Amino acid sequence: MKKYKIGMIGLGTVGTGVYKTLQEFDDIEIVKIAVKNINKKRDIENFDTSIMTTDPYEIINNPDIDILVEVIGGVNPAWDYISKAIEKGKHIVTANKELLAKKGEDLFNLAEKHNKVVLYEAAIAGGIPLIMPMKTIMAGNKISKVRGILNGTTNYILTKMDIDGASYEDVLKEAQELGYAETDPTGDVEGYDAMYKITTLSTIAFGKRIKLDNVYREGITKVRAEDMQKANELGYKIKLVAIGNLDKNGKADVRVHPMLVQKTTPLAHVDYVTNTVNLDGYPMGNISFTGPGAGEFPTASSVVGDIINIVAGLKHSDYILPMMRCNHKEYAEMVDISETYNKYYISITAPNNIGVIGKIGNVCAEKNISLSTILQKGLSKDNTADITIITEVCKEADIQSAISELSECTIDSIIRVEA
């Protein structure tokens, strides 16, 4: 039996899961692993440390290695390693969402030039089978909407804030202690991770490349415990939602931001580190994928699945997995966030003056904004009123214009609401 040889760059949580899982396959062998620190203790039983190296080019330049598995993340030096490996005749399996979002066009063009494939099932939603179903069994559909929760760290934080009534700062500290959040959580809590994922996901769904620079991003750092409480009272939960919409004119609205979602919808009940993706298309209708978005074995499952698919292809053809290759020829025209239409939750601290609610209503009316809900809860010790508004669907630019005219009020929060 021919053994297909694997070289892997990275042996962290995901890499360790990949190594353990591949021990069950007789026709696949990891022959070399590049790591930063050879002396670091690994959670692998009977691990042969002789296959480790600190030089990734021992893998890249080895002609006997068929597939490079990259699980280190980031653009640099991952791009250099992957691009040179492709030029040296290797197929690629990666979990690198940032690289895909920032260098996807260059990556897939290079791969096609050298007749290699790049598979990345683990890059979007960890252990959820998503990319291959979209590119194969759902290939006959016209997908117009993508929506989901794509970051487990932020979903955990928001879930704990909701259940415990705790502040963002307190829950973030707890998440870091439990290992759900990094020491520097910026990539997760500011929405970058979800932005990278929805960029690639929308590219696949719409059949057009999505330019990362035009994707709107807003994280969860401004969400308050008070917003969680008010959302619950109004029948909502707050989630960090990644959205991609393709309108009838072919324009793409792609963004990531907190959103009030109705308690009656499944999305509101996706909690802790779970991920979910919802797709709308013709003729399939509406379908959802839900499961673990991270973790050693869920993510390793996706990586190993990609490896097995490449190996299966190599056994039968010199031009493998044609449906999994990138065939995008153009960039989608993007809709700016200011041109989008949404409902809005607005929390306002206003001076307790006669007519203040009337003034808020008048400003909104002048900007073509209809109000669905307006609530005032008593007075604070400083004689200010806590006012909560839910609007009807209106234009983002109009909301921002109205807010700018409420100069005597303090705008505590503005969060978009599921329409």
Distance of CA 280 to the CA centre of its chain: 18
Distance of CA 264 to the CA centre of its chain: 23
Beta-carbon contacts of 290 under 8 Å, excluding residues fewer than 6 positions away, are 128, 270, 274, 275, 276, 277
Question: DSSP E strands: which ranges in 99-177?
Answer: 118-119, 142-149
The sign of the CA dihedral 155, 266, 222, 252 is positive
With H, G, I as helix, E, B as strand and everything else as coil, classify residue 188: helix
Q: Which of 160, 197, 239, 367 is catalytic?
A: 197
Is-cis flag, bond preceding 185, omega within 30?
A: no
Hey, what are 398's tokens?
């109009």
Residue in the structure block whose two tokens are 């907190």: 258
197 is catalytic: yes
Q: Which residues are paired to 390 by β-bridges?
A: 345, 373
- Nearest one of 162, 170, 81 to 118, comparing CA atoms: 81
First to last CA, the chain: 57
How far is it, in rounded angstroms, from Cα 194 to Cα 157?
A: 15
C-beta separation of 28 from 89 below 8 A: no
Is-cis flag, bond preceding 77, omega within 30?
A: yes
Hey, what are 306's tokens?
């990609």
How far is it, in rounded angstroms, from Cα 415 to Cα 258?
A: 6
Residue in the structure block whose two tokens are 């005032």: 376
Element (H, E) at 297: helix 296-314
- Nearest one of 168, 163, 127 to 302, comparing CA atoms: 127
How far is it, in rounded angstroms, from Cα 333 to Cα 194?
A: 21
Catalytic residues: 197
